[in-house]
Structure formats: structure tokens, C-alpha cells
Chain A
Amino acid sequence: MIDYHFDWSVIARNSDKLIDALILGLWLAVVSLAIGSVIGLLAAYARVSGKWWLSRPVWLYVEFIRCTPLLLLIFLIYFGLPEFDISFLNKTQSFVVSLSLYAGAYMSEVFRAGLASIPKQYVEAAKAIGLRPWQRQAYVILPVMFRITLPSISNNLISLFKDTSLAAAIAVPELTFTARQINANTFRVMEVWLTASALYLVTAYLIAILLRLLERRYAAIR
């Protein structure tokens, strides 16, 4: 280690690959957050529905996801589904399914808390002008909840982005997998992993700043 000589040219030579990999990781996180938010919202409504045959299965789903390592879920979906003749998913799609299910469980908790924290007075004002139940949801409750939960949604996006590194385990060519490949071909251990770390860090930080701006724009409205 003491004699380690840094040779950063390996990074320059592979910069295209690394950037592509980074973009793929971001894309995986954003898509999974989007699908996960839809799942999470439906799950949150199921949890507060007061119907046990809706809330119980959803509770089971949420607890299963929260108490199981994400890597296990990734393997389960990737190796497990083909056993049931569900084999039309490529490895990237399979990973998106896993990460979306994972995100859905966490988002359902975010949304459940969000729905519970909507001040009753807004709902009553919405009733008083004659909005129907679904209109109250669409025009008042959900927009207000979105603003209340925005900070938690941001945190989830950053976590999911970091979690995309687990896709390396099933050879999805995101940043971690690509870094390992470059490493295997060039043996430039420190350069490659330091660069990958820096890319994760800078990207996560940029996401945080961007979302902070978004939050500021909306937070003022509460």
C-alpha cells in the first residue's frame, strides 16, 4: 500500500463507461421510486381502509420487505420468478421489480403517516364546498400530503440511489458493477473505487440539494 502509485489515466480512459453506469443507477432509482410511490400510495390507502382483508395482506407485505435484506429480495425475484415460468424479465427489469417492491413498502409508511397528519380542518373545508370523496382526495388531501411528505420522499430517493449498487450482484451494469469490471481488467483498485465512491457521493449530494430547493418552494406553501 505504501508503494501504491496512483495512475488516474485508467479513469480517463473509462470515463464514458462510468458516466453511463452512473446514469443507469440514477434511472433505476427514479423509476423504482415512481413505481414504489404508486404501490406505496395504494398500500397506504389499504392500511387506513379499516378493512382487514385489505390492510392485513398489505401489513404482511410491508413487514416482509422491511425485515428482509434487499439483496435477498433481488435474488428471490431474479432467480425465483423464472421457476414459475416468469422469464420475460431481463436482469435490469428484474432489479427494477425488486427495488420497486422495496420502495413501495417504505413509501407506504411515509404516505400512511402523511395521510394521518393532514389537518382535519382542510378535509372539512373540502366537504363544506361540496367536493365528493374522490375529489377531496385528488384536489386537497393528496396535494397537501405530497408537500408534507416531500422531505421523506427525498431521503428515500437518495437511499434508493445508493441501493442500486446491489444490482451489481446480478450483473446489471450500473456503477458498482462497472467499477468492479474496470478493476478486474486494470487492477487499479484505489483509483476505481475512490472514483466510484466520489461519483455516488457527489450525485447523492446533488440530488439532496435539488430536492431541498423543491422542498423550499413547496414548504412555504404550508
Chain B
Amino acid sequence: MTDQPLLQATAVHKSFGDVEVLKGIDLTVRQGQVVSLIGASGSGKTTFLRCVNLLEEHDGGEILLDGDPIGYRDIGGKRRRLSEAKVSAQRARIGMVFQQFNLFPHLTAGDNVMLGLTKVLGKSKAEAREIAGHWLGRVGLAERRDHYPYQLSGGQQQRVAIARAVAMQPRLLLFDEVTSALDPELVAEVLGVMHALADAGMTMLLVSHEMLFVRDVSHHVVFLDKGRIAQQGRPADVFDNPENERLRSFLGRFHGLFGRASAAS
């Protein structure tokens, strides 16, 4: 039992109407691991993260968090969606950071971080304020706690969003292309924060096109192609020995960052 994966997805399927977007995803994330999803646009990376956080309802397979099925349970062999209250409770154990930051526009940076602490975790205002201060400090924004989102740069907003997610002490943090909407000069500050979290032992599942970062930070890399896992493994294997043809051509797009991949394209 000690070896139970933190997240275990088995044969996850998801369709939008007639279009099958996830065609059976098996994926395991262990405590303290950083697992990265890479793949072309439209390959289903976002959809998979959203299924894990219950923003989408997967329509086949199973996702276990600490052994508990996410979103559904079996009642007499029938698959039943959990109640909204239960779904909300499960979501509170998973943090998510979005591409577009999604900070609450009417709340200051500090209040953005505090909202979940007081309303979901039931902490006192004083305790929540302290935790928010701690995490805003960790992302380098202690002086910005009374600023509203519109008063912050994109990179600062994204760091507040990370603080908001991690302050909830989730079991798992999801990152969906969190630097894609940023000006290039702001990318590094956000990746730096993520790197520090990984070093601190946070379990993370992330989608990113920052290949050097992915290679550097990940324990395990998964290449998704048209809703299927085409190759996965340690970063060195995936980036230096891409056996899969489509992975080779995908990596080839990154301007010769990777030895063999660029030779193949």
C-alpha cells in the first residue's frame, strides 16, 4: 500500500460529441514526481488535465487520486457522477494553474490566495492571511499582496495564481501551458517558481512547450499524439532517443534543441 501511486489513470476516454479526444490514457504519477505531457496542439493535453480536475467529465476509464476514484463511483455496476459537493471536495485536493492566469478580478493578490483557504479549508482570516503572505513571499510577490490583478504584469499574475493553487496544500498540482500567454521576458520568472516547487518535492503534472524546462524538471515525460500516448519515459530517453516517428517530427520543430530529433527532421 505504501507504493500506491498518487494519481493513477486507467484507460481514460473522453469524447466531445462524435469526436474522441482521449482514446485510452494510462498514466501514473507518484508522490513527489514531476510528470510532463508534451504533444502537438489538439492532441488532448488540456482535456486530460481538465478530466483530472473534474472540469470535464471523462466518459470511460478511471482516475484514482490516492486510490479514490475521481468524479464517479460505481453503484451496482452503474457508473454514477458524484454530487457537486463531493466533486468540489475532490477538486480541493488538486490545484490547477491555467494558461490565462484566471485570477479573480475583484480581489487583491492576497485575497485571491485567501479565498480558498477561508471558504474551502475553513481556516481563520488570521491564519489564511499568514499562509497567503508566506506563499506570496515564496513566489517573490510579498509587496504586491494588496494589488489587484489589473495592476500586475502577466508574470506576476501567474505567480499569484501559482501561490493561490499551492497555498491550498493540494496533493497534486496541474499546470496547463502556464507560460504560453506570457511575454518572453516574463517566462523565466514563472518557470523559476515552478522549478522551486518541484525541488521542494511538490507532485506536479504539467503541460508545457518549454522543452528545455520540461527536460530539466521532469522525472517522466509523456508524448501525447491524437489522444493516445505514443511514447513515454525518462526525459533523456524521450528527448534523445525518440523512437516514435511522430515524436521525432514533433521535437524537430524545436529549432534543433535536441540532437537526434533535429537530425531526423
Q: B91–A127 contact, CB under 8 A?
A: yes
In the assembled complex, A131 has its CB within 8 A of some CB on chain B: yes
B104-A126 in contact (CB<8A): yes
Q: Are A132's CB and B115's CB within 8 A?
A: no
Check A129 against B150 for contact (C-beta < 8 Å). no
B116: A residues at CB distance < 8 A = 129-131
Interface residues of A in 193-222 (CB under 8 A from B): 218, 220-222
Inter-subunit contact A144/B106 (CB<8 Å): yes
B105:A133 contact, CB within 8 angstroms: no
Which A residues lie within 8 Å of B119 (CB)?
A: 131, 135, 139
Tell me the complex Cα distance, A127–B120, Å: 11
Are A221 and B91 in touch, CB under 8 angstroms? Answer: no
- Residue from the set A128, A135, A147 with the largest chain B CB neighbour count within 10 Å: A128
CB distance from B78 to the nearest CB of A (A): 24
Does any Cβ of A come within 8 Å of B250's Cβ? no
CB-based contact A221/B105 at 8 Å: yes
Picked from A129, A130, A131, A221, the residue with its CB within 8 Å of the CB of B106 is: A221
Scoring B residues 124 to 160 as 1 if CB is less than 8 Å from chain A, else 0, what string do you get? 0000000000000000000000001010000000000
Q: Is A140 an interface residue (CB 8 A)?
A: yes
Number of residues from A at the complex interface, CB < 8 A: 22
Within 8 Å by CB of B92, from A125, A130, A144, lies: A130
Give the distance in Å from the alpha carbon of A131 to the alpha carbon of B115 in the complex. Answer: 9
B249 beta carbon closer than 8 Å to chain A: no
Contact A129 B168 (CB under 8 A): yes
Which residue of chain A lies nearest to B113 when distances are taken between CB atoms in the complex? A129
Could you tell me how many residues of chain B have their Cβ less than 8 Å away from some Cβ of chain A?
30
Cβ distance A142 to chain B, nearest Cβ, rounded Å: 10
Judge whether B120 and A124 touch: CB under 8 Å.
no
CB distance from A51 to the nearest CB of B (A): 17
List residues of chain B with CB within 8 A of the CB of A221: 105-106, 148, 150
Task: Tell me which residues across on chain A come within 8 A of B180, comparing CB atoms.
Answer: none
Closest A residue to B161 by beta carbon equals A125
A132 to B122, CA, bound (A): 13
Chain A residues with CB under 8 Å of B103's CB are: 125
Taking the complex as formed, is B258 at the interface, i.e. its CB lies under 8 A from any CB of chain A?
A: no
Which residues from chain B contact A121 at a C-beta distance below 8 Å?
A: 98, 100, 102
Query: Cβ of B84 and Cβ of A129 under 8 Å apart?
Result: no
Known: A127-B54, A128-B55, A129-B120. 5 other contacts (CB 8 A): A129-B165, A130-B91, A130-B92, A144-B105, A222-B105
Interfacial residues, chain A to chain B (CB-CB below 8 A): 121-122, 124-133, 135, 139-140, 143-144, 147, 218, 220-222
Q: List 12 A-B contacts (CB under 8 A).
A: A125-B98, A125-B102, A126-B104, A127-B53, A127-B88, A128-B53, A128-B165, A130-B88, A130-B92, A130-B116, A135-B119, A139-B115
